[in-house]
Structure 1
Amino acid sequence: MGEPARESVAVVVVTHNRADLLGRMLDGLVAQTWQPDAVIVVDNASGDHTQQVLDRHDLPLQVIRSEENVGGAGGFRIGMETAYVAGWDRIWLMDDDVVPAPDCLATLMAVDEPCLMCVREDLDGRLVEKSATTFDLRNPLAIKPKTASVETTYGTRDAMPPLVEIQVVAFEGFLVRHEVVAAVGLPDPEFFIFYDDADFALRARKAGYRIWAVRDAVLVRQLAFSQELALESWKGYYMYRNLFVVHFRHGQNALVRAKPYAISAAVVALSPLRGGRAEAGNVMRAVRDARRMRAESGGVPTRR
């Protein structure tokens, strides 16, 4: 018997007004020892010099420009559907502020699993992989469902085993096979930002797929994580709303599915001491709008 056929892979990159970071990310793709078959860049209505950065011929680029900013969720929806319909065997989702090590894609492609995640580090080589090793949607007393991550569990890359099972992912180095998209659908664009990747991973796990972080697949973040958001800002609204949607859709019992109401009440009660009327307004709008999004969404694109 001959060797199995080489799987094809398309990279999907979503970008918005970060042309210089995007350029370094694309340089990282050029340097890959396993060259992708397609690089689909979704430009979310950038107003900077992104188009100039994309005027290059050293990658099999396909540029899709959205006339409006549809957020990371909408961008990944567009890109993944494009890759799926084209029939690529695997789809590698990538943000514009990371750079893969030269052997990153080859390392992932050598692992025969349908759902894989790179392991991220910062510019100083410190492990910063936030993907959850425990995402608790069973305990109503867990305020945040992510109770352990790769970073908090292992501390360093050297302490990790070659494969670590994870429960949610980031759309920042996630490699997924065509069959998974056929089974669970596309990212839900209504999330706009935050938790669209968690929702997709939870749907995949419900369908019976396991997700593995691959220790030796190195992805370098160019920017520090900014997890402490101003919850009274517009981003705070999406953080609350989408967290609530995850609880409504994927909570494993009635008490967990009721958590958004308890969280909202607590935030409103404490608002004079923290985010004020703006945060209280965000959380009240968030729980109202999350109720409307309770039904799982994604939709499977036209099959090849």
Structure 2
Amino acid sequence: MTPGTPESVAVVIVTFNRADLLVGMLDALAQQTHPPDAVFVIDNASSDHTAQVLGRNDLPLRITTMPENLGGAGGFHLGVQQAYEAGFDRIWLVDDDVVPAPDCLATLMAQDEACLMSVREDTHGHLVEKAATRFDLRNPLAIKPKTGMVETEFGTRAAMPERVEIQNVAFEGFMVRRDVIDTIGFPDPSYFIFYDDVDFAVRARRAGYRIWAVRDAVLVRQLDFDQQHDLAGWKGFYMFRNLFVVHFRYGENLLVRLKPYLIALAVVLLSPVRGGRAEARNVIRAIGSARGMRRVPEPPPHRR
């Protein structure tokens, strides 16, 4: 980028069979006071009317329709790679079930920082930003590494300062400059769903970048957070496995890196009175799979 030239920004959206929600996301993008320079959409083999929803000409859409579902992680890996290789200065990652306020993108672009997070609320205006203010990979007694969240620390948007430093992100309104990708690489597609955003944030912070949640960058989440209730289903496997991967890769001491085995043992022992055999099978499979994912992704070759 030439000094003094405004930064370009590309949006990356990953979608799968949520055409009715995607409409709201695209409508909101079309109403941004700072229009995006490009909108990369990764359609993960949707079988609903997503193709019809994407047939609009009021946005600079660049659509990739996949023959199979790559998951959110694979979709964001591909979309970020496309935006990066197209040369955009900043990349804004958003899900198909969020609606940004008209000035959300402008508010983020006004911040001279490498890593930024929009702040989410629900459709009733309640703060639901679950990005971690503390993400502890040092204490082996912390069952979950997220020990503090924007939502629980502040309660309301009005109680927040203008910026809050956070330690992990969600790919629902996260903005990153291309120099971060130069340094740490792309989102890791092997996660499929869950924790790919956490992994990216941990890598960014370990490379010396700070991440800021911007109070006035408002993003409205259309759906409730309910995936934590599915530990015995197919999503449960990915939740267990990817949590374990983060510990194996980034645990700051041996006890933390061993914690997944203790969690798995506890889940198996407690399975008769809580998740049943399906949850026990998930956690056993998750340990085996996570052991094969301990390698941290490499940054891409520089293409300046």
TM tier relative to shorter chain: over 0.9
Report how far residue 260 of structure 1 moved: 0.3
Name 1:293's counterpart in structure 2. 293
CA distance in 2, matches of 1:128, 1:217: 13
Name 1:115's counterpart in structure 2. 115
Name 2:264's counterpart in structure 1. 264
Name 2:95's counterpart in structure 1. 95
Name 2:74's counterpart in structure 1. 74
Name 2:60's counterpart in structure 1. 60
Deviation per residue, 1:158-212 (Å, 9 max, x gap): 0000000000000000000010011000011010000000000000001000000
Which moves more between the two structures, 37-46 or 268-277? 268-277
Q: Residue 132 of structure 2 contacts residue 169 of structure 2 at CA under 8 Å; is this kept in 1?
A: yes
Q: Report the identity percentage.
A: 69
CA distance in 2, matches of 1:181, 1:228: 30
Which moves more between the two structures, 163-172 or 276-285? 276-285
CA distance in 2, matches of 1:150, 1:4: 34
1:241 equivalenced with 2:241 (yes/no): yes
Name 1:137's counterpart in structure 2. 137
Q: Secondary structure at the match of 1:258?
A: helix
Name 2:276's counterpart in structure 1. 276
Report how far residue 301 of structure 1 moved: 5.6
CA distance in 2, matches of 1:169, 1:182: 19
Q: Residue 131 of structure 1 contacts residue 167 of structure 1 at CA under 8 Å; is this kept in 2?
A: yes
Q: Residue 229 of structure 1 contacts residue 235 of structure 1 at CA under 8 Å; is this kept in 2?
A: no
CA distance in 1, matches of 2:172, 2:183: 21
Tell me the TM-score normalised to structure 1 length. Answer: 0.98
CA distance in 1, matches of 2:301, 2:277: 42
CA RMSD of the aligned region, Å? Answer: 1.2
Name 1:41's counterpart in structure 2. 41
Assess, with a 3 A threshold, how the Cα gap between structure 1 residues 150 and 143 changes in structure 2: closer, same or farther.
same
Give the count of matched residue pairs: 303
Q: Residue 186 of structure 2 contacts residue 299 of structure 2 at CA under 8 Å; is this kept in 1?
A: yes
CA distance in 2, matches of 1:227, 1:159: 28
CA distance in 1, matches of 2:228, 2:108: 31
Tell me the TM-score normalised to structure 2 length. Answer: 0.98
Name 2:85's counterpart in structure 1. 85
Report how far residue 228 of structure 1 moved: 2.6
Report how far residue 4 of structure 1 moved: 2.3
Report how far residue 303 of structure 1 moved: 1.9
Name 2:183's counterpart in structure 1. 183
Q: Residue 187 of structure 1 contacts residue 200 of structure 1 at CA under 8 Å; is this kept in 2?
A: yes
CA distance in 1, matches of 2:295, 2:156: 38
Which one-letter code corresponds to 2:174 in the other structure?
Answer: F
Name 2:303's counterpart in structure 1. 303
Name 1:124's counterpart in structure 2. 124
1:11 equivalenced with 2:30 (yes/no): no
Report how far residue 297 of structure 1 moved: 1.9
Which moves more between the two structures, 287-296 or 221-230? 221-230
Report how far residue 3 of structure 1 moved: 8.5
